[in-house]
Every structure is written in C-alpha cells, then in structure tokens.
Structure 1
Amino acid sequence: MRLNILWLDCTAAALAGLVVLSFSAQLSDWYAAPEALLRFIGAVNIAYACYSFFLAARTRRSEISIGLLAWANGAWAVVCLCIAALLVQTLSPLGFIHIVGEAAFVGGLARIEWRWRKQLTMAT
C-alpha cells in the first residue's frame, strides 16, 4: 500500500495533466475559465507527475524528498482553492467541482504522504 500511494499520485497527476492540456479549449468553454489557466493547471500536473514518478520508481527515497512531495501537494491544494475562490462568480459548476475536487484529492495525498513519510523512504 505504501508504494502504491506514490504510483497513484504520479499516475493521477499525469492523467489529469494530459487530459487538461489535451482538452483545454473545450474545458475552457465547459468551465467558463480562461484557457491559459487550464493550460497552466495541466502543465503543473505534468511537472508534478514527473517528480512523483521519479520517487515512485526508486527503491530508496530520502525523507526530505517525500516531505517535499507532500508539501507540493499541500501547496497545490491551496492554489486550487484560491483559484476557485477568485473565480467562483464566473466558473461553471463543473469547473468549480473540478478545481475544488483537485484541491481535496491532492490535499488528501499530502496528508497521507506526510503521515507516512518515514515509511515511504523504502519501497516494499
């Protein structure tokens, strides 16, 4: 399970990034959000996926690298909540749900990864 959380993390980030980047024009219409914002969200997800994949693929990880992963998830959750708060008047319900849902998902990952940071230093 411990290693699986890292694979879940990198897979979810990569998938989210690819979908948002690939369909940013359509999502912009559906979400009533600027396409540039969606491209930014997609790019951040891809960059994050690269780092989390790097960690997931390793058999040994430093506690600092896991802490950084958890911190990045927590920071991204805050950014998503700020985006949702700033655009609450213009986002469609679907766009609002996506952005707040992403905040909840990555915030949950941050909590799990921080709690298990010592155990996550070694692959099972």
Structure 2
Amino acid sequence: MDIRQNILLIDGIAASCAGVAVISSTNWLQGLYQLPEALLVSMALINLSYAVYSLSLSMIKNRSMIAIIVLVVANSIWVINCLRLTFHYADSASLFGVFHLVGEAFFVGTLAYLEWKWRGHLTKKRI
C-alpha cells in the first residue's frame, strides 16, 4: 500500500477521531488535562472542521495545488497554535495536557510535512 495514496484520508480520519473523542469526553479530559473546557471544545470543533476539508479533498480526483497548499498551511498554523497553547498553559495544565498539545503538534506537523513533500503526487490526475 502506497501511503501517499491515502495520506489525506488518514489525515481526515485522524482529525475526525480526535474531534469526536475530545468532544465526547470533554468533562473527563478537563479534569485529566487541567485545561479549560472552552479550549477543549474549541479544539474538538476545529479538528472536526478540518476533518471535513481533508476528507473532502481525499474524495476529489483532480485536486488543485492551491487546495493542497491550503491544507498544509492549515496544518502548520495548527502546529504553531498547539505549541503556543503548550507554553501558555504550561504552568496550569497537567503533564497529560501538555503531552496532548505537544503530541498533537508533532502528529499534525508530520502530516503537514508529508503532504507538502507529496504535493505533486496529491495533485496528479487519477482515474
């Protein structure tokens, strides 16, 4: 299996799973992470919105380069935001909360890197 063929699907599924998991367990995660409920809900909703875009792109046969670049830029902005949140809440968040923010930044950053690296492949016409 060529992961390049499925990276957008993997990206969208990961974002949707993260969004659903956080939104469905916000109260529990708030206690575990020691992060504000509003932050967790907003992160979940952003993940779900992002999932819609990524999954939509995964179903398009003839993707534009601009659509892929928008995806990479969105991922990159999210990485910066997760790291910003890590520093902002470093004193009040639990170790689990910090690990979640850093882990999400690392995972999404890896996706951004791969999608940028494979942007040519992702925009080729497929039958």
Fold conserved (TM > 0.5)? yes
Matched, 1:101 2:103: yes
Unaligned runs of 5+ in 1: none
**Runs ≥4 residues deviating over 6 A:** none
Matched ranges for 1:1-124 at <5 A: 1-122=3-124, 123=126
Cα displacement (A) at 1:121: 1.1
Unaligned runs of 5+ in 2: none
2:57 aligns to what SS in structure 1? helix
Output the CA distance in 2 between the equivalents of 1:25 and 1:98.
16
Cα displacement (A) at 1:20: 0.5
| Normalised TM-score (structure 2) | 0.94
Output the CA distance in 1 between the equivalents of 2:100 and 2:45.
16
Q: How many residues align?
A: 124
| Normalised TM-score (structure 1) | 0.97
Cα displacement (A) at 1:59: 1.2
2:91 aligns to what SS in structure 1? coil
Supply the AA of the counterpart residue of 1:29. Answer: G
Output the CA distance in 2 between the equivalents of 1:107 and 1:83.
15
Cα displacement (A) at 1:3: 2.0
Percent identity, aligned pairs only, is: 42
Output the CA distance in 2 between the equivalents of 1:16 and 1:63.
26
Output the CA distance in 2 between the equivalents of 1:84 and 1:73.
16
Output the CA distance in 1 between the equivalents of 2:20 and 2:83.
21
2:60 aligns to what SS in structure 1? coil
